[in-house]
A and B are shown apart, each in its own frame.
Chain A
């Protein structure tokens, strides 16, 4: 004990160093899993999985899960759950179909009505969760029954079909071929694909430049190019395939807008940051001045609106409203969110992860269908995949946790 100094020396400021951003394996893990599943089925189906028609259907068939998963991931990050979205999809579908067929609403008014009904449903559930304090599990379980019941009441006359073509196009239509075709391929789709890649790279380089200017940590150049290179190739291949079928599905545009919008909302907005803060530690959020009731309310209103949109999309795709629509949609959405790396305890999750999780489920469905695996087995396999994905995540966390 020879090192005795009279008093504590003031802390010496550590040498300034810019830490490198570590790669988020959680996110890339699920992306890799998607790639593996795609390649696996591509081989097993002798290349039929990635036929242009199937790629197109993958988007149009799973649009509803992806839309619901975007809302659900916010609900789950905040530490809640929403079991009612399937019933809400059915009810909204019924209301919008009735508004067009019986009340003579134009298609766009029916869409607005659907979103409003969704918002009202969300406000109703948000009220009970946020201001009365009933756990979301109970409120939305009740909602699941209530809205399914109301759907049955609305559709006593049976199925409503014969919806306007503009409406069904939302779920089952394509952008018109404004730029014509070259060798049987839709030029607009190809142009959109190239544009996306250009914007992606420009945006990435611009934000790197900003980070450099501000002397902030940024990922290594190599990993930036590898990542964006793979993304660019995937986007171009994807649009190449779509252009060979019927062009760009309208729903793909809607999805792209939603993904961008909600990624921005969760990462950059005060609202999104409050959602993460509440999921991470509700008490700490309260004591930091977060208006938790209002945030909870808004989370459910938002979920309602997206469920309304999913209702429009799935009704449009089916070409009519049925009382049994939307069955198990809530479970698909919840599974997508958890496969996409969200934590059961809340506080963790991303929009992109949830969407990739939804695509994993979609590719599984499609691959198994092409292989004409029995529907019963498909269900069981999906169950195993969900369990495996979450188990993998927990295993990863444990290994990283160490102490």
Chain B
């Protein structure tokens, strides 16, 4: 506990903006927060780390008044006095603004309208448009966004939308800005820009709390890290200290050392299972735009093949177009399975041909979130459980329950609603669904996105086991270390073209990045 004591000593000398003491919050008996305390100094960037379900989001909801004062235990001191927020408006009034993972902008309104939404610059009920646009332009300059304030939100990418959210926060004279997983949906370039903006805000004296899984970012940006696990504060680490390492944070997050981020594996590679030749796909709306340009690749039995590419390089589009033409138009090229040319004209046909594709966005494309685990596990292969169109629900239960145990899905029963599971457990349900479908070729698109360290390790283990069973596995990922840790061979894709192929032995982040950016400028 000596570190924590020293932090507290340190804090006494600084100006403290926020102190949350011993926060307890339970949901019908289940403790989501069990005595979390956190102290944030004025003008610092304070990162909160923890596995999914550790209680980070709940803590922020307590702070911002989503859960009204009185519905939780403990106390909150902001700017030296105790506060009791009953609504989000109360906390915003004090200068606490939270930017959620899912952005809350209205797509058909302009940037300026969004910034001042609910806070319109008006006199006697009439909006002063000149002032609105002028003020918006000033705010956009502060966040480094070079766009006309009259531009509609839907014309902006996610990265720029995030900046608009921050501009909106600035318009409310924010003192404490909370960012929940701000870079989860951003590419590297936008992430870098956002991080430097946070740097910039720090210089202007704005305090930031940032919730993130990405330890590299935390190392880059944070002054202090508080780690939460199972609803408790584990420790607070000053990042300028000597032992502020990623390993240290991971250990605090998972409560154990991770000697290796990847489970060990012996590759046992067999015959070629999948061969794709000259695969070309055009954009579904802008039909003259090439999205995948003459891609050819192979995957062998028992092999894990990685696809590395920057956002928008065409990785997902390649996978989806192969999986039953679920993306794109004017698709041409040939697919061979076990040496025989096949057609994947519909998703159904692709599944019958032994393909499986776990989508990048599991909430949008992967799961029936209002359905239970059982329904989701059987969704892609109901036919296997049915005779003459009638589903054998007893067998369905048995199957789902066996996956729940085998995959270590943390839920009381298969009747649990998937929407209420954590990201890692949801991903295990998606994988169960596809494993049950019995594919020979598995394409996994960003299989560990938004998943905490412990669950990641388990999912890597599942992927390895699938390869060991002789399946041909394709893993698409933005995280190069992940591909380097998993794959036997890695293809790099850039602007729709396969620009390189490297074996595990020869692969490094540098060579991959070189291929991934090939063709650019």
Residues of A that sit less than 8 Å from B by CB: 1, 3-8, 11, 13-14, 16, 19, 21-22, 210-211, 214, 216-217, 267-271, 273-274, 276-277, 280-281, 283-291, 343, 347-348, 402-403
Contact = CB atoms under 8 A, between A and B. Distances in A.
Mostly, the A contact residues are loop
Nearest to B390: A268
B464 to A, nearest CB: 13
B350 A284 contact: no
B457 A285 contact: no
Nearest to A280: B368
Tell me which of B32, B378, B413, B454 has the highest count of chain A C-beta atoms within 10 A of its own C-beta: B413
A287 B366 contact: yes
A210 B394 contact: yes
Nearest to B362: A284
Interface stretch (B202-210, B268-276, B292-300, B369-377): B369-377
B259 interface: yes
Which 10 A-B residue pairs are closest in the complex by CB-CB distance?
A280-B368, A19-B413, A11-B408, A288-B380, A289-B348, A289-B351, A402-B27, A288-B379, A289-B347, A281-B368
A5 B398 contact: no
A287 B393 contact: no
Given A5-B257, A8-B457, A270 B369 contact: no
A277 B324 contact: no
Contacts of B386: 269-270
Given A283-B364, A287-B359, A288-B347, A19 B389 contact: no
27 contacts: A5-B256, A7-B259, A11-B458, A16-B405, A19-B415, A210-B394, A214-B394, A216-B394, A268-B393, A276-B368, A276-B375, A277-B375, A280-B369, A281-B369, A281-B370, A281-B371, A283-B364, A286-B347, A287-B366, A288-B347, A289-B346, A290-B379, A291-B346, A343-B370, A402-B27, A403-B32, A403-B58
Contacts of B366: 284, 287
A268 B395 CA distance: 12
Contacts of B254: 8
Interface string B343-357: 000111011000001
Contacts of A273: 375, 378, 382, 391
Interface string B222-256: 00000000000011000000000000000110111
A287 B394 contact: no
A403 B398 CA distance: 29
Given A8-B457, A287-B326, A348 B370 contact: yes
A6 B348 contact: no
Contacts of A217: 397, 413, 415
B368 A270 contact: no
A268 B258 contact: no
B365 A269 contact: no
Given A211-B394, A214-B398, A270-B391, A284 B365 contact: yes
Contact of B433 (A1, A11, A274, A288): A288
Contacts of A348: 370
B144 to A, nearest CB: 34
A207 to B, nearest CB: 10
Contact of B368 (A214, A277, A291): A277
B367 interface: yes
B28 interface: yes
A21 B415 contact: yes
Contacts of A402: 27-28
B256 A8 contact: yes
Nearest to A7: B259
A5 B259 CA distance: 9
Contacts of B350: 289
Contact of B347 (A16, A216, A287): A287
Given A3-B256, A267-B393, 8 more contacts: A6-B259, A268-B390, A277-B375, A277-B379, A281-B364, A286-B347, A287-B365, A291-B346
B368 A269 contact: no
A78 to B, nearest CB: 13
Contacts of A274: 382
A16 B414 CA distance: 13
A160 B257 CA distance: 84
A280 B379 CA distance: 12
Contacts of B323: 287
Given A1-B252, A3-B256, A11-B408, A284 B367 contact: yes
B306 to A, nearest CB: 22
Nearest to A12: B408
A13 B375 contact: no
A348 B252 CA distance: 42
A354 B115 CA distance: 45
